[in-house]
Amino acid sequence: MKYLVMVCKGAADNEIESLGGKTPLEVADIPVMNRLASMGQIGLVATIPDGVAPGSDAANLSVMGYDPRIYLTGRSPLEAASIGIEMSDTDVAFRTNIITLSGEGSYEDLIIEDHSSEDITTAEADELIKAVNQAFSNDKIKFYTGVSYRHCMIVHDGSDAYQLTPPHDVLSRRAGDHLPKGEGSDFIRDMMKKSYEILNNHPINVSRRERGLNPGNSIWIWGQGKKPSLPGFYEKYGIEGAAISAVDLIKGIAMLAGLESIDVEGATGTIETNFEGKSAAAIKAFQEGRDFVYIHFEGPDECAHQGNLAGKIKCLEYIDSRGLKPIIEYLENSGDDFRVLIVPDHRTPMSIRTHSSDPVPYVIYDSTLRLEPDADKQFNERSGSKGRFFKSGVELADHFFQKQQ
């Protein structure tokens, strides 16, 4: 049996008035997903446990079968594993975004305009992180370049007991209302404020403004945590496999779980990603004997954060036609039995432009069941509400991988 898990990050949404009370999944042209839904199992799953923030870290751990209430120590430590940072037990990792602040006056009065600096390139961001590192690094603190706007700060013998806010949760709001809080957090706040002085007129940002792009003119620090530890995926499910994603978070989870992390040239984590390259990498992984592939598409979530409804719908259509379709065609012609799970990690409603904890729809297709198509079964929130409900991502993963209880 071959297993494919495809995560459409942030794809799930709420009813939108401009779409006639429908959701992006309901209006998108996604014939492959809906064909699998018509012949498979549909429903809803609560990927975010009660009391846990609806982050991609918790959601993807959950979908992969790891209870975030047990294994989540913070987002950045998972990303640090992908970057190749060797953390000690007393190190604390912090997610460091390159963001866009707009407006005039003091740092506190500036507005958090864009959590991603308009999807700044990794090459550009690397220059900015180098400038930040030169200004702030010492025996205790060091910054590391990640991918696009997503980077990492390591503090040796640090604390993780601070109140830090994800920038995508507070877009269009005043920076001063969401700065770090908690005893000893002054050094983080000071670095964020001083970074604006360093980056605002950096040559990279002068060039970006000339090209009509948002500048990456400040760091924003959040997502802290200590060194994580996960039991091996093979230990859990008796399956070996690989993960394909543009983002360090998914790569880090995969590596900590003992899965191979496959890099794809041109994979960006946006609507401009290399869909064909990612699907080809998944097919190659199956051809080379792997039984499981976890393929992650970030684009719908990024579009939702940016308030780009048309982009979110188009990205779902690209995932279906350019990402999923070639993999399904390969599996159907391979002669192997296979199971497919399609699921968003969480909702990213257009109305709030950030994550929510509401349940998300899923599809499970099993090639061995050969069910008659039912056109009323589709991959969306409304259709999923009529199917089986899983109270956790772990419960869904155990069901999908046919774990014996």
What are the tens digits of pLDDT across the range 57-116?
999 999 999 999 999 999 999 999 999 999 999 999 999 999 999 999 999 999 999 999
Average pLDDT, the chain: 96
Backbone angles phi, psi at 221, to 5 degrees: -105, 130
Q: Which residue stretches of the chain have pLDDT < 50?
A: none
* Structural contact between residues 95 and 124, judged by C-beta atoms closer than 8 angstroms: no
- Residue whose tokens read 């990050």: 9
Is the distance from CB of 207 to CB of 150 less than 8 angstroms?
no
Assign 326 to helix, strand or coil. Answer: helix
Residue 404's pLDDT is 59
Within 335-386, where are the H helices?
381-384
Number of neighbours of residue 357 by Cβ within 10 angstroms: 18
User: What single-letter DSSP state applies at residue 18?
Assistant: G
Element (H, E) at 72: none
Domain boundaries, the chain: 2-72+230-400, 83-226
Burial 108-139 (b: 16+ CB within 10 A, else e): eebbbbbbbbbbbbeebbebbbebbbeebeee
Residue 204 has a pLDDT of 98
Question: Cα–Cα distance between 362 and 42 in angstroms, integer?
Answer: 6
Contacts 24+ apart (CB under 8 A), 277-281: 278/244, 278/323, 279/322, 279/323, 279/324, 279/325, 279/326, 279/327, 280/326, 281/244
Q: Tell me the pLDDT tens digit for each residue of 288-304.
A: 999 999 999 999 999 99
* CA 143 to centroid of chain Cα atoms: 21
Strands (E), 248-323: 260-262, 292-297
Task: Indicate the burial class of 170 (C-beta count within 10 angstroms; 0-12, 13-18, 19 or more).
Answer: middle
- HSE of 373 in the Cβ direction (CA atoms, 13 Å)? 8
Residue 256: count other Cβ atoms within 10 Å of its Cβ.
Answer: 22
CATH fit for domain 2-72+230-400, picks 3.40.190.10, 1.10.3720.10, 3.30.70.100, 3.40.720.10: 3.40.720.10
Query: Cα-atom radius of gyration of the chain, to the nearest Å?
Result: 21
Alpha-carbon distance of 88 to 339, in angstroms, equals: 39
Q: Determine the pLDDT at residue 403.
A: 78
pLDDT at 405: 52
Question: What is the rounded CA–CA span in Å between residue 316 and residue 328?
Answer: 16
Give the pLDDT confidence score for residue 370 in this predicted structure.
Answer: 83
